[in-house]
Amino acid sequence: MAQYALLEKFELIKHRFEEVGQQITDPNVMTDMKRYIKLSQEYKYLDELIITFQEYKNLVNNLESGKEILSEESDEELREMAREEMENAEKLIPEKEKQIKIMLVPPDPEDDKNAILEIRAGTGGDEASIFAGDLYRMYTKFCEKKKWKMEVSNVNDGTAGGYKEIVAKISGAGVYGIMKYESGVHRVQRVPQTETQGRVHTSAATVAVLPEADEFDVELKNEDIRRDEYCSSGPGGQSVNTTYSAIRLTHIPTGIVVTCQDQKSKLKNLDKAMAELRTRLYNMEYQKYIDEISSKRKTMVSTGDRSAKIRTYNWPQGRVTDHRINLTMYNLQAIINGDLEEVIDKLMVEENSEKLKLAEI
């Protein structure tokens, strides 16, 4: 995009920014929480975009003023300063233009949300459950490094270790926008702990990451929900407590079932179960959006099709391969210990490249 076209776009964005700023101070808007939060998110996005645009505009101005100095000034010291300023501007302007073009593609409105993480053992029997446990520990360590909070809501332990299923909520800044890349089938190749012959087996676990729904995102009617209470159970089915504190909610119109049993308090389990039910209902609609973009962006295929194989962890070779971007790394132990930043950063870079190709600007 030519410089003048970008600067024209800047003026339009400034106008919209002022318009949104006025709307979020309107008392009528402030009483409509859903609209208010949507406008607040847009205001934040436009604010960041304007800051970037202003940096770009300053670079363009520096380039133009440098040209004027070279054509009008005879003082060699000033001319040298102008040349340095121009050289710096010429280097940074293309980078800033690329950044703006990526930012001009509307962001996923869900990226700032908390996330619900689900890990389920797939093919591979006991080894799949053990691998699901490895993935859970990997994400736990990753969340610790990001200073995010993880709260488990439901656990179904594996018979030989790990988990048949584990569900947790992750809270923090921009959680879903980062964790969404983890949705899909994760495959492990290694000698199972349960194997005595030393043969390498392939097992799998499925990871699903859902943006957490806010209360106003979904309207739940009491008559549409069946609530069951039962005793929490631990490994081997043993009773964790003798009170009926565990909660199972069934959404009658859709058949969606959620359970929560990690708290001793029935009310706390109910609150968590209701939040998860809202999230699952919300994601039925959100999935339509995911399906649309996944057909265009290969980095998002994991969330568009959760049966897609996205990553393989090969223990004998210490290798991790992300199949979406043909990335192979030989630092398996570091990754399984929560060092996921490099993998996710590369997925983000690839997605940004695809955004640039798709942007009609």
Q: Tell me: the pLDDT tens digits for 82-97?
A: 899 999 999 999 889 8
Positions of the chain with pLDDT lower than 70, given as ranges? 1-4, 106, 194, 196, 215-216, 232-243, 288-307, 356, 358-361
DSSP one-letter string for 14-54? HHHHHHHHHHTT-HHHHT-HHHHHHHHHHHHHHHHHHHHHH
Cβ distance 62 to 3 under 8 Å?
no
Q: Tokens at residue 338, please? A: 């929560």
* Residue found under tokens 């969404």: 180
Query: In the chain, which segments carry CATH 3.30.70.1660?
Result: 115-216+293-357
- Can you give the pLDDT at residue 307? 64
For domain 115-216+293-357, which CATH number applies: 3.30.70.1660, 2.40.30.10, 1.10.240.10, 3.40.50.2300?
Answer: 3.30.70.1660
Q: Where does residue 314 fall: left (phi above 0), alpha (psi -120 to 50 degrees), or beta otherwise?
A: beta
- Can you give the pLDDT at residue 358? 61
- Can you give the pLDDT at residue 190? 94
Strands (E), 127-263: 149-157, 163-171, 184-190, 201-211, 225-230, 246-251, 256-260
Q: Is 290 exposed, middle or buried (0-12, 13-18, 19+ CB in 10 A)?
A: buried
- Can you give the pLDDT at residue 359? 57
Query: In the chain, which segments carry CATH 1.20.58?
Result: 3-104
What's the rounded Cα separation, in Å, for the pair 173 and 57? 30
For domain 3-104, which CATH number applies: 1.20.58, 1.10.101, 3.40.50, 3.30.420?
Answer: 1.20.58
* Residue found under tokens 């409105």: 109
CATH topology of domain 220-285: Double Stranded RNA Binding Domain (3.30.160)
Query: In the chain, which segments carry CATH 3.30.160.20?
Result: 220-285
Q: Please name which of 169, 183, 168 lies closest in space to residue 304, comparing C-alpha atoms.
A: 183
- Can you give the pLDDT at residue 292? 60
Q: Is 353 exposed, middle or buried (0-12, 13-18, 19+ CB in 10 A)?
A: middle
- Can you give the pLDDT at residue 242? 53
Asked whether the whole model's pTM tops 0.75, one would answer no
Count the Cβ atoms, other than its own, within 10 Å of residue 124. 19
* Residue found under tokens 């909610």: 249
